[in-house]
Amino acid sequence: MTVDEIKKQIQSILGDGLAVIIGCGLSCAEGLPGMSDLADALQKGILILRRGLVDPEWLIISKRLARGTGLEAALAGVELPSALFDSIIAVTADLFRKHERAVIGDVIEARRQLRFSKLAKAIIIPTTGLPIITTNYDRLVEIACESNGLCVDSMFIGSFLGRLDGKASALSFCRTLTRRQGKLQLTYSPRIRIFKPHGSLDWYNHQGKAIRASLDLDLPPLIIPPGEMKYRVGYNEPFDAQREFANREIDRSSRYLIIGYGFNDNHLQTHLDRNLRMGKPCLVVTRELSPSAESLIKECPNVRTLTESKTMTDATTYRDVSGWEYQVKGRWWDIGNLSEEVFL
């Protein structure tokens, strides 16, 4: 297969009915912390927040981390008291906000362009908006789109005490209202519709209800940290609504572009696995496939992957739907390079 033929196969994913699914790999590529960074921050920060109080539950987790156990595995099977759970959220939020602030500052000062901003130039945005599902807490996707002239529909209406109202939020992007053949027709600004089943750094609990605030409030954000607690907390408001909306978009969409996602989230996997096994086209772009992704892809008839080559320097391994692998010069597994060299 020639390079041009590979490019055409990759480009075919940007068709009608596209949904984009984004995992932590994209944020890490922009300089945000990964799970090992968060584990280190928790080891240092929990005792400070707890003022030296050693929770027996944290002692179990801390010893696991010290032995080199991954964060998700270290948290597995441990029932967290509410105070410890809140401390984990606080440390997590502080860590991500610090790094996110630095990245956003670079974007505003025109010192850098985010990878997703480059990709957004290549995607034809449907009139209904492009659905983006992300398990990340940060707002880099939103910044990337707005810096590229796209509106962002977060399903919250309002800037400082924004309430969750999907219908009102969608209508706020209406540009014109025309009548054709006796029927009213709405025209919307080009926009993405973003769904965040694990929460966001700008979501807070205000008088018992979820709000979105454009300011960094001195409150713990509504985010779900790693570990088994996310499967329990994930069925509370607003996470349950976000999960339901995200899964609805997965079912509605006819093709998927999946970026830096490990295929390890039970909130999404039931719907995503089923649709991929049905044969819906999918392109996975990531530095390295997780074991979960490798296992699933073997059962799916229409998935292509772009990963870092293990045999060539500054090269990409392209795996087609038949499982054949090709080595291509260039870092196409990085969505920024892929956008410049293939999509644009």
Asked if pLDDT for residue 232 goes beyond 70, the answer is: no
- The per-residue pLDDT for 54 is 77
- Of 54-68, 179-193, 220-234, the range with the lowest mean pLDDT is 220-234
Asked if pLDDT for residue 11 goes beyond 60, the answer is: yes
- Of 34-38, 113-117, 263-267, the range with the lowest mean pLDDT is 263-267
- The per-residue pLDDT for 181 is 79
Average of per-residue pLDDT across 212-229: 85
**What is the value of pTM for the model shown?**
0.94
- The per-residue pLDDT for 208 is 87
- The per-residue pLDDT for 305 is 98
HEC profile of the chain = CCHHHHHHHHHCCCCCCEEEEECHHHHHHCCCCCHHHHHHHHHHHHHHHCCCCCCHHHHHHHHHHHCCCCHHHHHCCCCCCHHHHHHHHHHHHHHHHHHHHHHHHHHHCCCCCCHHHHHHCCCCCCCCCEEEEECCCCCHHHHHHHCCCCEEECCEECCCCEEECHHHHHHCCEEEEEEECCEEEEEECCEEEEECCCECCCEEEECCEEEECCCCCCCCCCECCCCCHHHHHCCCCCHHHHHHHHHHHHHHCCEEEEECCCCCCHHHHHHHHHHHHCCCCEEEECCCCCHHHHHHHCCCCCEEEEEECCCCCCEEEEECCCCCEEEEECCCCCHHHHHHHHHC
Separation of alpha carbons 188 and 113, rounded Å: 26
- The per-residue pLDDT for 159 is 85
Percent of the chain with pLDDT over 90: 75
Average of per-residue pLDDT across 153-168: 91
Asked if pLDDT for residue 274 goes beyond 80, the answer is: yes
Q: How confident is the model at residue 236 (pLDDT cuts 50, 70, 90)?
A: confident
Average of per-residue pLDDT across 229-240: 66
Cβ-contact 202, 211 below 8 angstroms: no
Separation of alpha carbons 201 and 216, rounded Å: 8
Separation of alpha carbons 337 and 320, rounded Å: 19
Q: How confident is the model at residue 235 (pLDDT cuts 50, 70, 90)?
A: low
Q: Share the mean pLDDT of the chain.
A: 92
- Per residue in 303-325, pLDDT tens? 999 999 999 999 999 999 999 99
